A and B are shown apart, each in its own frame.
Chain A
Amino acid sequence: MTSTTGRVVNSQPGYLPADNSQPPSRRFRFNEWLDGHARQLFITPAVVMILIFSIFPLVASLIIAFSRVRLKAGGYQVRFVGFQNFSKQIFGSEQFHFLGTFTSLTFLGWAVALSATGAILWWMFRYITTGFSVVGFIGRLITALVILGISWMFAATFFSGNPFGTLGVTLFYVFIGCAIQFIIGLALAFLCSQPIRGRNFFRVVFFIPMMITPIGVGYLFRMMADTTKGPFSPAWQWFGLNDFAWAANPWTARLFIIIGDSWQWIPFIFIILLAAFENIPRDYVEAGQVDGASNWQIFREISWPQVMPVAVTVMLIRVIEGFKIVDLPNIMTSGGPGIATESMSLHSLFAWRSLDLGQSAAIAYLLLFVTVVICVSFFNLIVVNRMRRI
């Protein structure tokens, strides 16, 4: 660049003017400052957005979880109540709602509880005697306590003939639902990765349910499951099920919700695993075929180890999503019969609707705690070990 005086100057930021006797211009200094802080400036909008929309609500809801909040003219009246909202759910008048109804343990309940306790103690003992680190021990201790608590909860409720609460219902949706979704999604993805006729058509068909909003899926399944006036009522009646009320029985109601949830989420697992299967180099498969391996052996020894990292990731995402299930039980049963299909998110939503914001936030934090412990444990204790073996 040539200046008006004929002097050649470099105006790019970071270059000093040739004549050092003159102080740098304000614009130059600003450009210098921008250059020096470019990384911070680029990341600032994202940080601000996360702070406003994630961190601040998280902190605010944590404060609310320890408070009683009352809406009054001119704003809120917040009263600090300590752990009262949490203790009400775990030990107090809402215990039956969150954990379940505890009366006495049956023989089966005792057997399950003691077996689980023994297994967890053995697992901890083995860790302490084989390889020990403080961080690892604390992590395992938290996992052990949570799993122990959940085991005793199911022992005292499900295995002793008592109804379980929203925590048990949520875990049922997560573990049974996600397992069904994974097995079917994996099978469909493997099938569609094979050279079969019409596989492009099936790919599109299998993917459609994921594009429908969860509320739409809820209404769709509620209508389809209606034995008296739904579109499938002739079919139900043909099977002699016109007097069958799925929503009146806790287990059939939960099952129908899992069917609806699976119908919506199998495509998510399917589409990601399909991409993983299609990325397996053909050479590996062909080498296996040349060596005379069966299809099952090819799947177990070649395909599965290749797709496992993707499968683990997709399951982790699905499990985290599964913990937040709310639309389907809300639309299909409103949490009924009784509280048999009420998930923790729905429990929190109902508390929020009645303006019991403290209880609502406390339940949301309990959900966050359970989700984090289970997902981190799943990843660190199961996935990482399996990956090391491959």
Chain B
Amino acid sequence: MKSTFKSLLAGVAAAAVLGTATPTFAGEFDGVTINILTRPGPVIAGRLVDRGKEFTEMTGAEIRVNEVPFAEIFQKLLTDWATGTNSIDVGVFASGWAVELVDGGLVENLDPYIAKDDKIDIDDIAPYFREFNQKIGGNTYLITVDGDFQMLYYRRDILEKIGMEPPKDWDDYMKVAEAMNGMDMNGDGEADYGSCIFKKRNAQSYFAIGSIAAGFTQTKGTGEGLWFDPETMKPKMNNAGWAEAFRIYKETGKYGPTDELNQDIGDTRALVQAGRCGLVIDWGDIGPLSIDESGAAIRDKMGAVIMPGSRKVLNPATGELQQCDSELCPHATDGVNHAPYAAFGGWAGAVNAKSDQKVKEASYAFLSYMNQAEQSNVDVTLGWTGYNPYRNSQLNDTSKWIEAGFSPEFADNYLGAIKDSLNHPNMASDVRIPGAQQYTGVVLDRELARFLAGEITAEQALTNIEAGWEEITEDFGRDTQQQMYKLSLGITN
């Protein structure tokens, strides 16, 4: 009798949890407040606020979005969760940062919630974001709200005018940039720029250098790893491939704005929208921004293509750059090795493992609501949201994009460039191990800035980076870091 009663009780409890996992009726989360921490709006935060209001109407849960400067999101979140303050229930941040939080047991495993959620349609999320971005060690800890890949954008009208093709490698890039530089591209009578790539310190320059270096140094597929040797955890930086990437990055400045060294992504996007840039490296945002009101100068004039690659790549055996062949570059196209870099990985939401159960359920339900195709398929078409496509339905169906204002031709071109990157077997993964910010955001960023400023040579910068990274690896523990790095590349042995 007792055991029957227990089973009945367990059944009722399970049914209750199952019932609360998917919010389907009004007032389900009455009295629940969800505190979210993310970057300042309107980009990323703005849409959380808007969708939060809808969610409140639907379920009764109040959504509070707390905005802090980009550079402080991670340490604020880690401090809040690790010290037990727990004033934040949901963090929306770079998916790569979650490894350290998960390592500390601070993030809720969302697999049980997903299992009971019949609206999220998890299989519609593109495999890279579903299996790499959202998962750590095989479990889902994050819900994607934005998919990030860096791509090359070009002014289609100007390229046609000068009779050139979109660049396939960095030599092409320089030739096109040189040809476009000084042309008046927006009809204001002023000379404009052949190339716009942000180079400010403490901003996004370390993502741009990753995109350039990947084509020179990663050839054998994602599992090869762009940043470290997965077998020794030694940095793969101090070599001819990275030195060439540093040289190219600096050289692009010859065709860019004079104050490019002090420009971050906001500054370059403003120039792009003003029609002043011929070529630009950016995430998926340029597509929707080109149909925005403030992008009238470039409306239906942009084209997108996979990041340029290289015909010469690093031969790890000799340490020198060598012409691509089928053995050295098995994934090359027309002799060009491409390695599209999943820079940043995209903004994703994680739930605090120490929040109350009801709050955790409401938090998951809100992230699921943001992620569901009905909402996200609209959000990714709006430039100001900062959200880029990450679902198959967003990448394969152009109707929403055309509805938003894309021309059919540009919708095909833009989504094609993303799919080329996303499905590439040599896609380069971001640093997704503890201390990721110290490796890239501090050491790499600082040495790159010193090189760009002319303080040191590329070789000195790379030697310093190698030494700095080794210190961080030793500090966190080489074995742990190696294990995490392998996992981030999908290597499970």
Which residues of A pack against B, CB within 8 Å?
A: 68, 71-76, 93, 96-97, 101, 163, 226-229, 243-248, 250, 333-340, 350-356
Contact = CB atoms under 8 A, between A and B. Distances in A.
B262 A333 contact: yes
A72 B79 CA distance: 9
A338 B447 CA distance: 7
Given A74-B84, A336-B200, A163 B455 contact: yes
B453 A340 contact: yes
Nearest to B202: A334
Interface residues of B, number: 42
B89 to A, nearest CB: 16
B475 interface: yes
A228 B257 contact: yes
B455 A247 contact: no
B83 A75 contact: yes
Given A101-B456, A245-B260, A336-B201, 17 more contacts: A71-B79, A71-B82, A93-B471, A97-B446, A163-B450, A228-B258, A228-B259, A245-B257, A247-B261, A250-B453, A337-B455, A338-B201, A338-B451, A338-B454, A339-B449, A340-B455, A356-B442
B468 interface: yes
A71 B261 contact: no
Contact of B449 (A71, A246, A338): A338
Nearest to B83: A75
B441 A248 contact: no
A353 B259 contact: no
Contacts of B202: 334-336, 350
Contacts of B75: 352-355
Contact of A248 (B79, B262, B467, B471): B262
B408 interface: no
Given A93-B467, A335-B202, A71 B78 contact: yes
Contacts of B442: 350-351, 354, 356
14 contacts: A71-B82, A73-B81, A73-B105, A74-B82, A76-B82, A226-B259, A229-B270, A245-B257, A333-B201, A334-B201, A334-B203, A338-B455, A339-B446, A339-B450
Given A245-B261, A336-B262, A355-B75, A72 B82 contact: yes
Where chain A touches its partner, the secondary structure class is loop
Contacts of A244: 258
Interface in B448-484: 449-456, 464, 467-468, 471, 475
B265 to A, nearest CB: 13
A337 B82 contact: no
A246 B260 CA distance: 11
A89 to B, nearest CB: 13
Given A337-B453, A338-B455, A352-B75, A245 B262 contact: yes
Contacts of A336: 200-202, 261-262, 449, 453
B437 interface: yes
Contacts, number: 116
Contacts of A229: 270
B359 to A, nearest CB: 18
Interface string B373-392: 00000000000000000000
A97 B445 CA distance: 13
B395 interface: no
A74 B105 CA distance: 9
A355 B453 contact: no
Given A245-B262, A247-B262, A338-B455, A71 B84 contact: no
A362 B471 CA distance: 17
B104 interface: yes
Contacts of B84: 74-75
B30 interface: no
A360 B471 CA distance: 16
A74 B104 CA distance: 9
B455 A73 contact: no
A122 to B, nearest CB: 36
Contacts of B131: none
Contacts of A73: 81-82, 104-106
Nearest to A248: B261
A381 B449 CA distance: 41
Nearest to A247: B262
Contacts of B259: 226-228, 245-248
Closest 6 CB pairs of A and B: A337-B453, A338-B453, A247-B262, A336-B201, A71-B82, A338-B450
Contacts of A97: 446
Nearest to A222: B262
B72 interface: yes
A103 to B, nearest CB: 11
Contacts of B79: 71
A354 B449 CA distance: 17
A96 B455 CA distance: 11
B438 interface: yes
Interface string B422-452: 0000000000000001100110001001111
A288 B255 CA distance: 65
B71 interface: yes
Interface in B178-201: 200-201
Contacts of A333: 201, 262
B450 A71 contact: no
Nearest to A351: B442
Interface string B137-163: 000000000000000000000000000
Given A75-B84, A228-B257, A336-B200, A354 B437 contact: yes
Contact of B453 (A75, A248, A354): A248
B401 to A, nearest CB: 30
Nearest to A253: B262
Contacts of B105: 73
B72 A71 contact: no
Contacts of B71: 353
B64 to A, nearest CB: 24
Nearest to B439: A354
Contacts of A351: 442
Nearest to A81: B475
A226 B257 CA distance: 12
A295 to B, nearest CB: 45
A354 B452 CA distance: 22
Contacts of A350: 202, 442
A14 B71 CA distance: 61
A227 B260 CA distance: 12
Nearest to A352: B75
Nearest to A337: B453
A95 B83 CA distance: 32
Given A334-B203, A336-B201, A350-B442, A227 B258 contact: yes
B437 to A, nearest CB: 5
A336 B201 CA distance: 6
Contacts of A354: 75, 437-438, 441-442
